[in-house]
C-alpha cells in the first residue's frame, strides 16, 4: 500500500482551487491538473507500507493527536517547486504557520515511534494544483494572486494512493478528528 497523511479540503475550497487551476492554464504550455476529488494538504508522505504497520501508525496518530484542537490555515500564495525541467504548481501560505508546524511535528513523531521510514524533507504546507507544468511566462504567472482563503484543519486522514482504471486516486483509509 502506498500511504500518505494529509488534510482533506471541503467542497467550497475545492471550487476555489478548481477556479485557480483554470486561471493558471493561460500561463502554461502543459501540465497535469490535480483532480478535483484529490485536493488535499499533504502532511507527510510515507510510501509503501504493509497493513500491520499502518494499523500501528494509526493507533500512534490517534493517541498523539487526541488533544490537538482544530484551527484555520490561510491559503494566500500561488507558488511552484521545480522538478526536473517542469514545475509543480501549488497554493499555500506566505508565512510560517506555527499551529500547522506543530501538527506536522506531532504526526512525524508518531510515525517515528512506529519505526516506519518516510520521506523526511523540509515541511512546506501546500495544496498541489498541477504537476509536470511547463510555464510560458514565469513573470506573469508570479503576478497571479490567490486568496486569501481559510482552510479548516479539523481532520487528519491516512490516505491510500493508487491507480484506479488508470487514474490517480487518493482514498481516505482512516480519519482522525481534531477537537
Place 83 in a pLDDT band, splitting at 50, 70 and 90. Answer: confident
Give the span between the Cα atoms of 151 and 125, in whole angstroms.
Answer: 12
What would the grid cell of residue 154 be?
479539523
Mean predicted confidence (pLDDT) in 20-45: 92
Confidence label for 23 from pLDDT (cuts 50, 70 and 90): confident
Question: How far from 75 is each of 5, 78, 104, 130, CA to CA, in Å?
Answer: 19, 9, 17, 16
pLDDT surpasses 90 at 153 = yes
Distance of CA 121 to the CA centre of its chain: 14
Average pLDDT score over residue span 50-64: 96
pLDDT score, position 143: 60
Domain boundaries, the chain: 2-177
Instruction: Report the alpha-carbon distance of residue 79 to residue 130 in Å, rounded.
Output: 11
Could you say which of 3.10.20.600, 3.20.20.70, 3.90.1140.10, 3.90.1170.50 is the CATH number of the domain covering 2-177? 3.90.1140.10
Amino acid at each position: 500500500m502506498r500511504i500518505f497523511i494529509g488534510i482533506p479540503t471541503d467542497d467550497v475550497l475545492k471550487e476555489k482551487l478548481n477556479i485557480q487551476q483554470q486561471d493558471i492554464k493561460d500561463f502554461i504550455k502543459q501540465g497535469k491538473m490535480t483532480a478535483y476529488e484529490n485536493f488535499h494538504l499533504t502532511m507527510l508522505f510515507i510510501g509503501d507500507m504493509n497493513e500491520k504497520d499502518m494499523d500501528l501508525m494509526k493507533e500512534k496518530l490517534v493517541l498523539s493527536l487526541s488533544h490537538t484542537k482544530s484551527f484555520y490555515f490561510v491559503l494566500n500564495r500561488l507558488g511552484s517547486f521545480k522538478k526536473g525541467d517542469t514545475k509543480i504548481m501549488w497554493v499555500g501560505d506566505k508565512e510560517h504557520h506555527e499551529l500547522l508546524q506543530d501538527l506536522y511535528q506531532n504526526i512525524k513523531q508518531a510515525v517515528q515511534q512506529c519505526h516506519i521510514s518516510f520521506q523526511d524533507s523540509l515541511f512546506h504546507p501546500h495544496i498541489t494544483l498541477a504537476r509536470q507544468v511547463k510555464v510560458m511566462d514565469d513573470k506573469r504567472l508570479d503576478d497571479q494572486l490567490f486568496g486569501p482563503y481559510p482552510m479548516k484543519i479539523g481532520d487528519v486522514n491516512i490516505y491510500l494512493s493508487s491507480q484506479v482504471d488508470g487514474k490517480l486516486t487518493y482514498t481516505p483509509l482512516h480519519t482522525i478528528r481534531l477537537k
